[in-house]
Structure 1
Amino acid sequence: MFVDKARIFVKSGKGGDGAVSFRREKYVPAGGPDGGDGGRGGDIVFEVDEGLRTLMDFRYKKKYIAESGENGKGKKMHGRDGEDLILKVPPGTIVRDEKTNLIIADLTKHGDRAVIAKGGRGGRGNTHFATPTRQAPNFAESGGHAEERWVILELKLLADVGLVGFPNVGKSTILSIVTSAKPKIANYHFTTITPNLGVVEINHKSFVLADIPGLIEGAHEGIGLGLEFLRHVERTKLLIHVVDISGTEGRDPMEDFHRINEELKHYDEKLSQKYQVIAANKIDLLESEETLRKFQTVMKEKGYEVFPISAAANKGLRELMAFVANKLDEIEETPIYEEAETFQYYAPEENENHKIIVRRENDYYVIEGKPIEKLINSTNFQDMDSLRYFQNFLRKRGIVDELKELGIQDGDTVKMYDFEFEYYD
């Protein structure tokens, strides 16, 4: 199992502001308010695409911002809604809030969707604030705030391709060259005791490659590392069968190939039926080209593609990986996620966007919070009706009562971001 990770910033669209407008038609000299509402901001949505296998795309682009809603206009014309930004992820992706470290979404099946950052609501135009006693409201509501957060994307990868072969045939070296993985490499048997995985990126395609522990005879009976090896092989779609074509350790490549396939067959008949491509490694150590030609002839008669390579000299690996990437597209897709685990979820709606903080700081009182920012942006402080709306908001939300509990007196200073006023009950 290998966890592919990416850290990205997401921000939804801000809601459009409501418009302050009045009818000014030729035969309606004192027309009423006709300011339209602002449009809704776009959401950030994650959606599962079963055609993706890795989080490769999110390593290059780190910031994703949805479109904001359009401001309202006169003649009761509403602003256009911002377009949702849909981000495609592979099956098995977990979205984690970086700040809380809690799970926002566990996306497992094709088409699964989750809204990670909700767009701001459009602000209401001044038509909504007209009353029998306030017939010409000279203020409107600003658009709702955008939600923003850093999220961690985690994908539990199951290998698409497995490197199989006897110990010390060069599997770890192949993995280290074609991916960014750093497996332990040495010239002795059983160097690899657990699967190493890496992501191969070639020709705008990507797949997960596993260097699986070397196999010995009797693996299907649990000897050595056999069962662990075979469990990982089960999950792959295609096998790269690596053989030491040079025979430098006194091994016969043909015999090794058949013995490993026998072990696969004994464990599960389906494993021996997986598509295999043969990597004839260590061609740089060959004493006779005839050995390679004979091996290729026999294997091609059996229907196997043979790629002569030298992992140590990085020869032939690009051609091999390009062939494998294309072949994977032809093999029927299998789910690469496991059953969902038990997670503690975090709902993005339960954030601090609706909190208002009232506190005393030295000789003045501070009121903060997203609703307060929105209130200030919506208030026309030169208009008496707008000021009354401002005061009523503070009373209805219990802010005045909180200030009294903190001991505020007439004439004390209240700060709301860049706006200050003296308090009088």
Structure 2
Amino acid sequence: MIDTVRLNIHAGSGGNGCISFLREKYRPNGGPNGGDGGGGGSAYISGDSSFNTLLHLKFTSTIYVERGGHGRGKDRTGRNGQDQIIRVPMGTLIWKEDEDGERFLLADICDTSPVMVAQGGRGGWGNTRFVSPTNQEPLLAQNGERGDREILFLELKLLADVGLLACPNAGKSTLISRCSRAKPKVAEYPFTTVEPVLGVVSAHGQDFVMMEVPGLLEGAHSGVGLGHQFLRHAERARVYIHVVDGLAEDPGRQYQMLNNELRQFSEKLAEKPQVVVVNKMDLTDVKELQDEIADSIRQRAKEDGIDDLDVLFMSAVTGEGVNEVLGKVVELLAATAKEAAEQEIVPEPVKWGQSKRTPIRVSREDGVFVVQAQELERLVGMADTRDRRVLLQLWDQMNKNGVARMLEDAGIEAGDTIRIGNSEIGWF
């Protein structure tokens, strides 16, 4: 089962603005008419109940979203890039990695509402935007803003109300197939179930989702066996049915071992309510030793600080005792309903749609004044810096946004070199 995927998301960059002037037969100097670039497409992730795994994304390492179209003459704006929606199963967690390598939760996909994970860049302004009473021939336009580049980690945790936990061959598959329409593989050898199985159960007037987790072995929390790969899915469950094999050499030891594995994997997992049930009571060896088996389990529970543990018995094959087990499950689900309604605390969601501008900085490196100003970088990227008229208009823009004053405060003199983005110009 593919339940973790790493994705590189490249949102679409904005289209470039256009430098254009109206030229008609009877209007030779009609003025600027360069259109703006279109906005780049954004990336969204949305839940889709038709998917059960992340397999469809396993071989998609990078997703590119459409960029915006460039502006054109006659005030024609470039078309916006088309947004892209990535479909994932319900219960997918989206983790984002910051510059320090730390991961934080971006979203928990529990419905079909799309969540933006990478924002497209804004389109660049055409030269029409720079016309003013003192500048009737604007020769500047902006490059489109680069779209976000994000590294995302998708982790699927299946949504279920009840988790079935047990050692291999304890009868979990038989139980879920009896309670629901799920059809897991059932056989008399261990590890018949190799990935989680979901089934909808109707019992005592309630419907709930039950999930079977592959059998756990001692040391599962550290990678032994198969179950450790899927314990993350069990974290979503509100109640666990802890199935003990009645034919185990030491049922009490088996019960204690599985609880220890849960505790080692996650304290939160171990603290959730359990229905402890011994399976295979249809067999004589189990039926005749019910009291001894129950006492063995209660003794082990007492060692772990659990007093008066209620131990149930059932036969998943014949159905004896199953209704009582489901009744207990429904009671615990009702008791935890309020807790389930209170959503997990999720970090403050990322606020998109805001300006991506960063503070303007001026520094000096090897005799060159380096200006870090996104808006200027987008202008210089399309400017013909060999044209003195263009340089004068750039200088006017630097005056407006305070860069000229910052350069003067840094000690710039005529003839010094300024680096803006990948371009270098002289100060005059």
CA distance in 2, matches of 1:376, 1:232: 65
Aligned to 2:348: 345
Using the size of structure 2 for normalisation, the TM-score is 0.61
Tell me how far 1:269 sits from its aligned partner: 3.4
CA distance in 2, matches of 1:194, 1:176: 7
CA distance in 1, matches of 2:409, 2:319: 79
Would you say 1:44 and 2:43 are equivalent positions?
A: yes
Would you say 1:354 and 2:358 are equivalent positions?
A: yes
Cα gap change, 1:50/1:107 in structure 2, threshold over 3 Å: closer, same or farther?
farther
Tell me how far 1:194 sits from its aligned partner: 11
Tell me how far 1:374 sits from its aligned partner: 0.9
Match of 1:215 among 244, 247, 255: 244
CA distance in 1, matches of 2:319, 2:14: 62
Task: Tell me, yes or no, if the aligned pair for 2:12 and 2:64 is still in contact at 8 Å.
Answer: yes
Aligned to 2:309: none
Tell me how far 1:20 sits from its aligned partner: 1.7
Query: Percent identity among equivalent residues?
Result: 29
Aligned to 1:422: 426
Task: Tell me, yes or no, if the aligned pair for 1:20 and 1:33 is still in contact at 8 Å.
Answer: yes
Task: Tell me, yes or no, if the aligned pair for 1:94 and 1:103 is still in contact at 8 Å.
Answer: no
In the alignment, structure 2 segments of 5+ residues that lack a partner are 171-187, 198-212, 219-223, 232-239, 247-253, 260-269, 288-312, 331-339
The one-letter amino acid paired with 2:348 is Y
Partner deviation per Cα, 1:129-188 (whole Å, 9 max, x = no partner): 223333232332222221111112233224699778885466752234999x997669xx
Partner deviation per Cα, 1:58-89 (whole Å, 9 max, x = no partner): 22201111111111112222111110011122
Tell me how far 1:113 sits from its aligned partner: 2.1
Aligned to 1:13: 12
Q: 1:55-66, aligned counterparts within 5 Å?
A: 55-66=54-65
CA distance in 2, matches of 1:374, 1:268: 64
Task: Tell me, yes or no, if the aligned pair for 1:215 and 1:260 is still in contact at 8 Å.
Answer: no
The one-letter amino acid paired with 1:120 is G
Task: Tell me, yes or no, if the aligned pair for 2:216 and 2:227 is still in contact at 8 Å.
Answer: no
Aligned to 1:377: 381
Task: Tell me, yes or no, if the aligned pair for 1:16 and 1:122 is still in contact at 8 Å.
Answer: yes
CA RMSD of aligned residues (A): 4.7
Aligned to 2:417: 413
Q: 1:216-235, aligned counterparts within 5 Å?
A: 216=245, 224=255
Cα gap change, 1:93/1:122 in structure 2, threshold over 3 Å: closer, same or farther?
same
The one-letter amino acid paired with 2:113 is D
Would you say 1:147 and 2:145 are equivalent positions?
A: no
Task: Tell me, yes or no, if the aligned pair for 2:68 and 2:80 is still in contact at 8 Å.
Answer: yes
Tell me how far 1:25 sits from its aligned partner: 2.4
Cα gap change, 1:370/1:258 in structure 2, threshold over 3 Å: closer, same or farther?
same
Match of 2:325 among 257, 267, 286: 267
Aligned to 1:54: 53
Partner SS, residue 378 of structure 1: coil
Cα gap change, 1:369/1:95 in structure 2, threshold over 3 Å: closer, same or farther?
farther
Aligned to 1:394: 398
The one-letter amino acid paired with 1:215 is V
CA distance in 1, matches of 2:417, 2:371: 11
Aligned to 1:276: none
Would you say 1:368 and 2:368 are equivalent positions?
A: no
Task: Tell me, yes or no, if the aligned pair for 1:7 and 1:62 is still in contact at 8 Å.
Answer: yes
Q: 1:305-344, aligned counterparts within 5 Å?
A: 340-344=343-347
Using the size of structure 1 for normalisation, the TM-score is 0.62
CA distance in 1, matches of 2:132, 2:79: 27
In the alignment, structure 1 segments of 5+ residues that lack a partner are 187-191, 200-210, 218-222, 235-241, 273-336
Task: Tell me, yes or no, if the aligned pair for 1:35 and 1:73 is still in contact at 8 Å.
Answer: yes
Task: Tell me, yes or no, if the aligned pair for 2:215 and 2:227 is still in contact at 8 Å.
Answer: no
Cα gap change, 1:197/1:22 in structure 2, threshold over 3 Å: closer, same or farther?
same
CA distance in 2, matches of 1:103, 1:341: 14
Cα gap change, 1:232/1:68 in structure 2, threshold over 3 Å: closer, same or farther?
farther
Task: Tell me, yes or no, if the aligned pair for 1:48 and 1:107 is still in contact at 8 Å.
Answer: no
Task: Tell me, yes or no, if the aligned pair for 1:39 and 1:123 is still in contact at 8 Å.
Answer: yes
Aligned to 1:117: 118
Partner SS, residue 3 of structure 2: strand
Aligned to 1:279: none
Tell me how far 1:39 sits from its aligned partner: 1.0
Match of 1:175 among 190, 193, 201: 193
CA distance in 2, matches of 1:156, 1:347: 22
The one-letter amino acid paired with 2:118 is A
Would you say 1:25 and 2:32 are equivalent positions?
A: no
Task: Tell me, yes or no, if the aligned pair for 2:141 and 2:383 is still in contact at 8 Å.
Answer: yes
Cα gap change, 1:104/1:72 in structure 2, threshold over 3 Å: closer, same or farther?
farther
CA distance in 2, matches of 1:215, 1:379: 75
Cα gap change, 1:92/1:355 in structure 2, threshold over 3 Å: closer, same or farther?
farther
Task: Tell me, yes or no, if the aligned pair for 1:167 and 1:214 is still in contact at 8 Å.
Answer: no
Partner deviation per Cα, 1:319-351 (whole Å, 9 max, x = no partner): xxxxxxxxxxxxxxxxxx996322333626579
Task: Tell me, yes or no, if the aligned pair for 1:213 and 1:229 is still in contact at 8 Å.
Answer: no
Partner SS, residue 6 of structure 2: strand
The one-letter amino acid paired with 1:266 is E
Partner SS, residue 191 of structure 2: helix
**How many residues of Structure 1 are paired with residues of Structure 2 in the alignment?**
328
Aligned to 2:88: 89
Partner SS, residue 157 of structure 1: coil
CA distance in 2, matches of 1:358, 1:172: 67
Partner deviation per Cα, 1:358-383 (whole Å, 9 max, x = no partner): 22223222223543431211323244
Task: Tell me, yes or no, if the aligned pair for 1:14 and 1:41 is still in contact at 8 Å.
Answer: yes
Aligned to 1:128: 129
Tell me how far 1:57 sits from its aligned partner: 2.2
